[in-house]
Amino acid sequence: MSVTTDEPRRVPSTVALVRCDGYDPSSVYAAVGRGLDLLGGAGRFAEAGERILLKPNLLVASTPGEAVTTHPEVFRAVSRHLAETGAELSYGDSPAFGGTRMVARRAGIEAVAQELGVQRVQFGHPQTVSFPSGGLIKQFDIAQAVLDADGLVSLPKLKTHALTRMTGAIKNQFGCVPGMRKGTFHVRMPDAERFAQMLVDLNRLLQPRLFVMDAIVAMEGNGPRGGDPRPLGALLLSADPVAIDACACRIIGLDPQIVDTIRWGGLWGLGEPKDIQLLGDPLDSFYEPDFRVDRKRAPSPTGPGLKSRLARDHLVPRPVIDPALCTACHTCVKMCPVTPKALTPHAKHDRTGAYDPRETELRPPTYDYSVCIRCYCCQETCPEHAIYVKTPLLGRLIHS
């Protein structure tokens, strides 16, 4: 793929919003086809002989019913429509935890891909790409497979997110950064605003041609992994990631301007958050004002007045483990990107302090909030949904 190192191309701020009330294959195929037709047809985004890479959200291993990953029927429908153009399709992602094949199998995407002859490509080999016009980041390590493709088609899932409030089209490209390199961005940009700027730069660099957002069943509450599926019956299609995320926000009653990826995406020319031509079904018919999402801007752990430990500890939301749900698997410890780790495994010890292997009861890891940067990677990947984000009392009072 030819990545840009110049100013981004302005994409048309048209969003197709199409009702689709379930994952029945023929309904999803028809809905995706209708959305593509509203945007000018699949041929606008892929041509015969081009190598098009599909990028679903494969965050972690989970089944389609959990609403963590892009549903396989959305993947199937988009693949079939793009294949009709004569394009050569492949797919890939770099999950937050676990190998791509295992995660794709669990998500049901590997089976569909094999059925349709869509090849899975490795995202493990990075190539450094310089990006002089980056607003914040001038150089990225990108999966070689992404760079090898002629074009990228992004298939995000609409979910809540502790750091960015919602995850959709813009955040989906973070998986193009291979493996643990993603963690280094959390360490370098611990506050939501700078992290969002990095994501905007990443999208300005990669310029996916098309976004098809799966909001047929979204995730509300403790997302992006531990929340609850919430049927919305919506598919959103656009070439503009800012516009599509802004429309998704309006569906769930979230002000797009408190989502830093949308705000900075608009400011840095990635897309248009306000002046959007909406085609298809009326947005009001999808509006869910009681969708469970945090509607307040996240306080930055490095923001003005919050650099002191005392202020941070009393104001910034922190991850907390529910001991009743924790199985002491230590995934959270592995995922914590800071050194030394902000989470310590806590095994039951005998009287001498040595680990007693006869004891099978293991307690949850303990946090050291003095080194925790509030990236919420632990909350994002806990397989038992045992970690939630809690705002200290003072922070809650100030917010209210």
Q: How many Å apart are CA 175 and CA 1, to the nearest integer?
A: 16
Rounded to a whole number of angstroms, the minimum distance from the CB of residue 287 to ligand SF4 is 32
List Cα–Cα distances, 33 to 5, 71, 105, 256, 281, in angstroms: 33, 16, 26, 27, 14
Other C-beta atoms closer than 10 Å to the C-beta of 169 total 30
User: What CA dihedral angle connects 236, 176, 134 and 266, to 10 degrees?
Assistant: 10
For residues 30 and 338, which CB has a smaller minimum distance to ligand SF4 in the complex? 338
Residue 233 structure tokens: 């019956």
If the CB atoms of residues 278 and 332 are measured against ligand SF4, the closer one turns out to be: 332
299 or 365: CB nearest ligand SF4: 365
Q: Rounded to whole angstroms, how far apart are CA atoms 313 and 101?
A: 39
Q: Which is nearer to ligand SF4, 71 or 374 (CB)?
A: 374
CB 318 within 8 A of CB 392: yes
Q: Give CA angle at 18 (252, 86), nearest 5°.
A: 125
Q: Minimal distance in Å, beta carbon 381 to ligand SF4?
A: 7
Structure tokens at 324: 């009743």
Q: CB burial class (10 A; 0-12, 13-18, 19+) of residue 101? A: exposed
Least distance CB 358 / ligand SF4 (angstroms) = 21
Q: Report the interface residues with ligand SF4, using CB under 6 A.
A: 319, 321, 326-332, 335-336, 338, 342-343, 364-365, 367, 372-378, 382, 384, 386-387
- Work out the number of other CB atoms within 10 angstroms of the CB of residue 361: 7
**Looking at beta carbons only, is 276 or 321 nearer to ligand SF4?**
321
Q: What is the distance between the alpha carbons of residues 59 and 370, in angstroms, rounded to a whole number?
A: 28
Give the angle subtended at the CA of 145 by the CAs of 143 and 147, to the nearest 5°: 80
- Provide the minimum distance between the beta carbon of 188 and ligand SF4 in the complex, in angstroms, as a whole number: 13
Q: How many CB atoms lie within 10 A of CB 33?
A: 18
Please identify, using beta-carbon distances, which residue of 130 and 366 lies nearer to ligand SF4: 366
Task: Supply the minimum distance, in Å, between the C-beta of residue 329 and ligand SF4.
Answer: 4
Q: How far is the CB of 230 from ligand SF4 (least distance, A)?
A: 23
Angle at 179 between CA 346 and CA 183, to 5 degrees: 60
Nearer to ligand SF4, 206 or 386 (CB): 386
The nearer residue to ligand SF4, 8 or 345, going by C-beta atoms, is: 345
Of 206, 269, 279, 288, nearest in space to 238 by CA: 279
Q: Using DSSP bridges, classify how beta strands 51-56 and 210-220 pair: parallel, antiparallel or unpaired.
A: unpaired
Query: In the complex with ligand SF4, which residue's Cβ is closer, 215 or 386?
Result: 386
Q: How far is the CB of 335 from ligand SF4 (least distance, A)?
A: 6
Shortest Å, Cβ 142 to ligand SF4: 23
**Nearer CB in complex with ligand SF4: 223/319:** 319
Provide the minimum distance between the beta carbon of 375 and ligand SF4 in the complex, in angstroms, as a whole number.
4
How far apart CA 213 and CA 234 sit, in angstroms, is 8
**Torsions phi, psi for 318 (to 5 deg):** -125, 150
Shortest Cβ 301–ligand SF4 spacing (Å): 10
With beta carbons less than 8 A apart as the criterion, state whether 163 and 170 touch. no
